[in-house]
Structure 1
């Protein structure tokens, strides 16, 4: 959760710095450019508007119309926000058909030469394609067509939007066509991209090469995009700024690729609803200060390494129940507190490292199957049992230094 918040903060900072999120506060009270007013009326005329969302689009001052914002110096239209607030990206357009815009997007939008922000999300443009001319709106920095059910494919001309920072195409197509990604190479400034629900089944490993060229990406969302395999190695990885990566619900059936762990800037990784296998190394991650309660449900863990994770917390009783399936337990170099149970069972030969914490109580030398035991730099006390060899017959390494 903390990672998502941090990544969101970084994205907001960039969008605020670019002025995108300030656009809605810019209004003009004394009219607008006549050519742009006429262009907006032509745009309105081409749309289906059953709920009267554009009913305020009358009169001379187009800058006061609903969803329209203008530059306070030039009076030019810079923002058009016509998203449907009655449906989120997972809703059915059949339930909200009375609130949605539809129809054909008029090329009159080309008259809005300073347009920086265009949001047509959560509407219903079934039967109409994304117009090629959108790629000629060269000042666009924010484009959101998510959940809008366009037909056809993504026009290659979108690659001409070199100033674009934010692009959301999540579930925006009617799912009938496969996606070509060639056009993405032109979006060199992109910091946010969502292509959830697209069909990339013919892209193979090429999709990763395309996104790898977008050096400023902070968030990349690719859920439900119909790929079944991931490259296991990718030596030319260049996601220097990536903080959020969503590859959920894709049916991946492979081991977890090692290149995922080389994205040093990553704060949030979603691999849920796949069939991935392998190890996720958590050592030296900043998981703290509280202990991760999601571990409570991981009843089949074999290896748990959480050293140097900046956890400062009291260990709950449920945590020690995980030992039954573990062959390695390493929580060293944290600030963990509490008493270790009088007995702790391992069903398999196990390495245990609890050193450099604040565990306390009697010195415990338990478990028949422990082979390596490191308890140094805690607050354990007591005598070493004389029958230690019988209790720990497979023990090869023991460090109990710097205890009381």
Structure 2
């Protein structure tokens, strides 16, 4: 998909100074784009059928014009930028056909928790990127959760200073969730472990986010492949039910408060390639079953209270 310029209105759109392009109006002082006006003799609006729009790091600055919300056929929108900002996101609710939205590093600090409601009106949205957008807070009550198509959600690098709302775990379509390093607080909703399609969950580097290992890892985690909860406030013992997470490939729980022994059921995780349990309070000896992990590439257990000898089952691994 792309932009069909049947009337050759974009012939001047070359070079880096977009203010010299035909149909572009800029502020004389700041150079910010104020309007895009591309009339044509057919009487039709030249952008009304636009489905794909990628303006990422194009050099624009200032406020994103809310009239972008008039592009009701738009399916892909990327306005990633270090110099754009938004006062509110109400205009987004007009993008009723949108499937992909990327606003990486756009300043949304004025939006507060209000970023959720307009996005919740987009039933086709399947991928959402709001990384490093200065987001803060959540709305904790939604009359209904309409994110019925949302599969990929990335909110990393924000400043929420708030608990995760429980409605997150009602989005059954989720495949990947990334909210790393976002100053989350409170408890990790154990409902993440029951999401039927979840393959990747990264909540690491949220220093005030906590959970009981026994409760969290006793859930089903049917399809989980990547699980990174490092540098949080995990505590308690690893349950034997950990061995049911048979799709797990990457497992990182380092720098937490996990205690007790490593369950022998870990040997059931036949797809595991990377495991980091370092910088915890693990005790006891390594289970011999750990040698059953034939796909294991990296094992980190340093800075614990483990005792005994290295199991002979690990002798087959090259060091």
After TM superposition, the structure 1 = structure 2 runs for residues 26-41 of structure 1, keeping only pairs within 5 Å, are 32-34=5-7, 37-38=8-9, 40=10
TM-score by structure 2 length? 0.61
2:16 equivalent in structure 1: 51
Q: 2:64 aligns with which of 118, 121, 130?
A: 130
2:178 equivalent in structure 1: 246
Q: Does 1:164 align with 2:164?
A: no
Q: Deviations over 1:19-49 (max 9, x none)?
A: xxxx26xx98xxx522xx33x368x4xxxx7
1:241 & 1:311 partners in 2: Cα distance? 18
After TM superposition, the structure 1 = structure 2 runs for residues 21-170 of structure 1, keeping only pairs within 5 Å, are 23=1, 32-34=5-7, 37-38=8-9, 40=10, 44=13, 51=16, 103-108=33-38, 110-127=45-62, 129-147=63-81, 149-170=83-104
Greater Rg over alpha carbons, structure: 1
2:112 & 2:37 partners in 1: Cα distance? 25
Aligned-residue offset at 1:267: 0.9
Mapped contact 1:130–1:154 kept (Cα < 8 A): no
Specify whether residues 308 and 165 from structure 1 end up closer, same or farther in structure 2 by C-alpha distance, changes over 3 A only.
same
Mapped contact 2:178–2:201 kept (Cα < 8 A): yes
Q: Where do 5+ consecutive residues of structure 2 fail to align?
A: 23-30, 40-44, 249-257, 271-280, 294-312, 314-319
1:6 equivalent in structure 2: none
Aligned-residue offset at 1:106: 0.8
Mapped contact 1:120–1:144 kept (Cα < 8 A): yes
Q: Which has the higher helix share?
A: 1
Q: 1:278 aligns with which of 211, 225, 229?
A: 211
1:261 equivalent in structure 2: 193
2:269 & 2:161 partners in 1: Cα distance? 41
Matched positions, count: 252
1:273 & 1:154 partners in 2: Cα distance? 28
Q: 1:218 aligns with which of 137, 140, 151?
A: 151
Q: Which has the higher strand share?
A: 2
Q: Does 1:186 align with 2:121?
A: yes
TM-score by structure 1 length? 0.50
Specify whether residues 106 and 210 from structure 1 end up closer, same or farther in structure 2 by C-alpha distance, changes over 3 A only.
farther
Secondary structure, aligned partner of 2:92? helix
Secondary structure, aligned partner of 1:193? strand
